[in-house]
Amino acid sequence: MTSVPKISFAKFAAVKKGAIVLLANDKPAISKMAGEYDPAGTIGRAMDVSKFKGKLATIMEVLAPQGIDGDRILVAGTGKADELNEEKWLRIGGAVRAKLGSADTVTIVCDLPDMEITETNISQLALGILLRSYKFGKYKTRKKDDNGSEIEPKSVRVSLFCTNPSGAKKAFAGAGAIAGGVNLARELVNEPANILGPVEFAARARELAALGVKVEILTEKEMKRRGMGALLGVAQGSVRPPRMAVMQWNGGKIRAKPVAFIGKGVVFDTGGISMKPAAGMEDMKGDMGGAAAVTGLMHALASRKAKANVVGIIGLVENMPDGAAQRPGDIVTSMSGQTIEVLNTDAEGRLVLADALWYCNERFKPVAMVNLATLTGAIIIALGKEHAGLFSNDDKLAQNLIDAGLATGEKLWRMPIGPAYDKLIDSKNADMKNIGGRYGGAITAAQFLKRFVGDTPWAHLDIAGTAMASSSTEYNQSWGSGFGVRLLDRLVRDIYE
């Protein structure tokens, strides 16, 4: 991970060096404090000349006027003050971070002419900076560009001037935890599969113990003993053994039932014997985006000491073709006792989740289960890369998720489920088959999962289009987006704390 900027908060004061960031709305009216940093009114003139209109997340850059100790002034547009929301502040923070270049000292003056900027707004702005700072650069051995300058800036200090620094610092304590969780999820998705197999991923999950998370790792033997034949069938074609990580954060009332998050962790999906075509197959290193989001979420919740009981379970396997691999037509018995005819070995995520969901429900009796999975190409055809698919057996849980999505910008779109779709996965030879035919592929996949959740309120998020190679934003330029961490942190905060 790239060097994480050090964030601090202070009262408005003179700036001694570095870049100064001022805010401007779409009037475009600039920060009330502008006079302090621009006694001669240079910025106003520069805004006229460059036709800078203060549009959301746009930046105008000028040399610091004479008499000011800083070296550059960046004016960051906020757009219409009354339309600002949580995600827009992230975008402003991200846009600022992108323009900092080699600056190592940055001051952001947090005030606007017709709007009071709250501590939460300021913490979101800072979170946007942290999220944009992430870069997957660990395998680049070249550290200098052609001019001999460092490619990565060294440490960056960002000071945010505001009226209530201690309040902002408090609000930011939570935001910093979220940045850690999102950036962990991104890193796990970006890691190539030769480095991150099931065993290595489980070891990364185990590291959460340092934050107070209780972590258990189930080995192949333990999964066999529990009869997890659906998950094990997927894993049997790989020389790398499967794992299941069970993470518990108990920050809530003793003995209060937990909410549970379950992730698909296929560290690489070749398709197995029903092999995928070569073009683009490298993307399947990201087929553990669900497991990464769950791990990042547990990291965030523990770092901010969330007052809730939360379980995170991830099924970790590699889907490979091999002499020992499962064949199309094989029939496996899941932990639930239900039998599955595997007609396509590339529909493997649902097989992994079938056992993870059943195990979770049986052991923890959670108040709700939410699973995340890069489950189907069909959801990308249906929704593109702007929304993840949401499937649920519970309207209230679905609405809570949709609301969390609107608040964070990690948007969800509810898709239908029902008996007519469920019929499509009935099998001649077993209780069900693992594919449902050409139509409604994302829906039949969801129907399959539903057969393993009993009556527990449950939601399935198909994040195939949003966990990786999603549309980039000012606060995310990474291939692995970390989608789901901010969304579910918000859900926990609003509903379960």
Contact stretch for ligand BES (CB under 6 A) within 183-191, 376-384, 388-396, 484-492: 376-384
Which residue, 291 or 369, is less far from Zn ion as judged by CB?
A: 291
Q: Are 309 and 252 in contact (CB under 8 A)?
A: yes
Q: Which is nearer to ligand BES, 215 or 291 (CB)?
A: 291
Residue 96 or 445 having the CB closest to ligand BES? 445
The answer to whether residue 347 forms part of the interface with ligand BES (CB under 6 A) is yes
Interface with Zn ion (CB under 5 A), residue from 87, 287, 355, 410: 287
Q: Which of 341, 346, 355, 422 binds Zn ion (CB under 5 A)?
A: 346
Interaction residues for ligand BES, span 425-444 (CB under 6 A)? 435, 441
Q: Say whether residue 346 binds ligand BES (CB under 6 A).
A: yes
How many residues belong to the site for Zn ion (CB under 5 A)? 6
Cβ(54)–Cβ(28) below 8 Å: yes
Whether residue 225 lies in the annotated active site: no
Q: Does 174 interact with Zn ion (rule: CB under 5 A)?
A: no
350 part of the active site: yes
3-state secondary structure the chain: CCCCCEEEEECCCCCCCCEEEEEECCCCCECCCHHHHCCCCHHHHHHHHCCCCCCCCCEEEEECCCCCCCCEEEEEECCCHHHCCHHHHHHHHHHHHHCCCCCCEEEEECCECCECCCHHHHHHHHHHHHHHHCCCCCCCCCCECCCCCECCCCCCEEEEECCCHHHHHHHHHHHHHHHHHHHHHHHHHHCCCCCCCHHHHHHHHHHHHHHCCEEEEECHHHHHHCCCHHHHHHHCCCCCCCEEEEEEEECCCCCCCCEEEEEEEEEEECCCCCCCCCCCHHHHHHCCHHHHHHHHHHHHHHHCCCCCEEEEEEEEEEECCCCCCCCCCEEEECCCCCEEEECCCCCCHHHHHHHHHHHHHHHHCCCEEEEEECCCCHHHHHHCCCCEEEEECCHHHHHHHHHHHHHHCCCEEECCCCHHHHHHHCCCCCCEECCCCCCCHHHHHHHHHHCCCCCCCEEEEECCCCCECCCCECCECCCECCCCHHHHHHHHHHHHC
Does 397 bind ligand BES (CB under 6 A)? Our answer is: no
Q: What is the dihedral of CA 129, 135, 141, 147, to 10 degrees?
A: -50
Nearer to ligand BES, 112 or 356 (CB): 356
389 binds, among ligand BES, Zn ion, none (CB under 5 to 8 A by kind): none
- Tell me which of 348, 355, 422, 489 binds ligand BES, using CB under 6 A: 348
Is 187 among the residues that bind ligand BES (CB under 6 A)?
Answer: no
Q: Binding of ligand BES at residue 118 (CB under 6 A)? A: no
- Closest separation in Å from C-beta 482 to ligand BES: 16
Options 80, 99, 157, 276, the catalytic residue: 276
Q: Supply the minimum distance, in Å, between the C-beta of residue 333 and Zn ion.
A: 21
Residue 56 structure tokens:
């959301």
* CB-nearer residue toward ligand BES: 211 or 380: 380
Q: Is 287 a binder of ligand BES (CB under 6 A)?
A: yes
User: Catalytic pick from 186, 350, 433, 486?
Assistant: 350
Residue 111 contacts ligand BES per CB under 6 A: no
Residue 349 in the binding site for Zn ion (CB under 5 A)? yes
88/264 with CB nearer Zn ion: 264
377 touching ligand BES, by CB under 6 A = yes
38, 111, 119, 269: which one binds ligand BES (CB under 6 A) = 269
Q: How many residues bind ligand BES (CB under 6 A)?
A: 15
Span 464-493, contacts to ligand BES by CB under 6 A: 464
Q: Is 269 in the site for Zn ion (CB under 5 A)?
A: yes
Q: With beta carbons less than 8 A apart as the criterion, state whether 248 and 300 touch.
A: no
Do 28 and 47 touch, CB atoms closer than 8 A? yes
Q: Which is closer to ligand BES, CB of 123 or CB of 374?
A: 374
Closer Cβ to ligand BES, 152 or 322, answer by number: 322
Judged by CB under 5 A, which stretch of 239-247, 344-352, 360-368, 434-442 contacts Zn ion? Answer: 344-352
**Taking CB under 5 A as the rule, does residue 191 contact Zn ion?**
no
| Least gap, CB of 265 to ligand BES (angstroms) | 11
Closest CA to 352 of 431, 454, 453, 264: 264
Q: Point out which residues bind ligand BES (CB under 6 A).
A: 269, 287, 344, 346-349, 374-378, 435, 441, 464
Active site residues: 276, 350
Q: Point out which residues bind Zn ion (CB under 5 A).
A: 266, 269, 287, 346, 348-349
